[in-house]
């Protein structure tokens, strides 16, 4: 998976590749899907949600430049796989999921792997986790209508935020970088994610 799907597509950061080699992705997918865990695509995880394609996990992680000292927020825990990768590259990881069943399952797999620097929260991540801010990096793993100011405000002074932004048919991966009180935005590649719900997410009538 790592050499064919990730290195070959240009991701070279050694610690990230090592984390992707070490974390057993098959534990995070449903038991009946385990033989497909290392395929080059997303897979269903229950509650109509998905574990993201390995390359997208690697790409989003590489875009936030972690050095091991960061406090990171992930919005959309899903299976917990992305959080497990982040745990190897950051100091602390907060991850929030709106489906309690997914959050609990993710938490138990992270515990089984003895990952101790990830805290799983249940709730609406569309407004972030202000009580645990500032974050050097925020990763949003569901498509947002736009990146709200309330999330950008939770970035540290040189923080990075990566999110898929757009509707069901048309999304783009964006990276936002904070420099003091100003923010710059880069539009990167087209992507396909499930919708972010909640107060600042997509309403079911809109998606
Ligand atoms: N990062 C995940 C992984 O490694 O398996 C994949 C995430 S999946 C593509 C998107 C997740 O975002 C779903 O589990 C969904 O329930 C969650 N989600 C959607 N809206 C949310 C919200 N407002 N707050 C928290 N989680 C949300």
With a cut of 90, say whether residue 135 has pLDDT above it. Answer: yes
The answer to whether the Cα torsion of 24, 28, 33, 39 is positive or negative is negative
Confidence of residue 100 (pLDDT cuts 50, 70, 90): very high
Tell me how far apart the alpha carbons of residues 79 and 97 are, in angstroms, rounded to a whole number. 10
The tokens describing 176, both together, are 């936002």
Contact between 189 and 171 under an 8 Å Cβ cutoff? The reply is no
With a cut of 90, say whether residue 143 has pLDDT above it. Answer: yes
Question: φ, ψ for residue 64 (rounded to 5)?
Answer: -105, 5
Of the chain, the percentage scoring pLDDT greater than 90 comes to 100
Tell me how far apart the alpha carbons of residues 126 and 105 are, in angstroms, rounded to a whole number. 21
What is the residue-averaged pLDDT of the chain?
Answer: 97
Cis bond before residue 198 (omega within 30° of 0): no
Pocket of ligand 1 (CB under 6 A): 49-52, 75-76, 78-79, 81-82, 96-99, 102, 124-126, 141-142, 193-194, 196-198, 201
Mean of the pLDDT values across residues 66-91?
98
Mean of the pLDDT values across residues 184-200?
97
Q: Give me the residue spans of the domains in the chain.
A: 2-191
Contact between 59 and 41 under an 8 Å Cβ cutoff? The reply is no
With a cut of 90, say whether residue 207 has pLDDT above it. Answer: yes
- Pairing state of beta strands 135-140 and 71-75? parallel
Mean of the pLDDT values across residues 35-43?
98
Q: Which of 81, 97, 127 to mutate to test the pocket of ligand 1 (most atoms within 8 A of CB)?
A: 97
Q: Which of 93, 141, 204 to mutate to test the pocket of ligand 1 (most atoms within 8 A of CB)?
A: 141
Mean of the pLDDT values across residues 53-79?
98
Give the fold, CATH level 3, of 2-191: Rossmann fold (3.40.50)
**What is residue 169's predicted lDDT score, i.e. its pLDDT?**
86
Q: How many CA atoms lie within 13 A of 187 on its CB side?
A: 7
pLDDT in tens, 154-173: 999 999 999 999 999 899 99
Among 3, 52, 184, 205, the active-site one is 52
With a CB cutoff of 8 Å and minimum separation 6, the contacts of 129 are 73, 94, 96, 121, 154
């Amino acid at each position: 998976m790592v050499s064919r799907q990730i290195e070959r597509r240009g991701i070279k950061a050694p610690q990230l590749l090592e984390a992707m080699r070490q974390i057993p992705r098959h534990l995070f997918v449903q038991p009946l899907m385990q033989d497909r865990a290392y395929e080059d695509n997303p897979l269903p995880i229950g509650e109509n949600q998905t574990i993201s394609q390995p390359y997208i996990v690697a790409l989003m992680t590489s875009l936030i430049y972690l050095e091991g000292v960061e406090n990171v927020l992930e919005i959309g825990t899903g299976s917990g796989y992305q959080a497990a990768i982040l745990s190897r590259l950051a100091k602390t990881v907060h991850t929030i999921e709106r489906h309690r069943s997914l959050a609990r399952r993710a938490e138990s797999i992270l515990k089984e792997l003895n990952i101790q620097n990830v805290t799983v929260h249940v709730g609406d991540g569309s407004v972030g986790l202000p009580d645990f801010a500032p974050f050097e990096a925020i990763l949003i793993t569901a498509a947002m209508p736009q990146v709200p100011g309330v999330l950008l405000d939770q970035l540290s002074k040189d923080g990075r935020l990566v999110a898929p932004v757009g509707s069901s048919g048309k999304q783009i991966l964006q990276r936002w970088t904070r420099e003091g009180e100003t923010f710059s935005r880069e539009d990167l590649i087209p992507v396909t994610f499930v919708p972010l719900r909640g107060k600042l997410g997509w309403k079911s009538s809109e998606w």
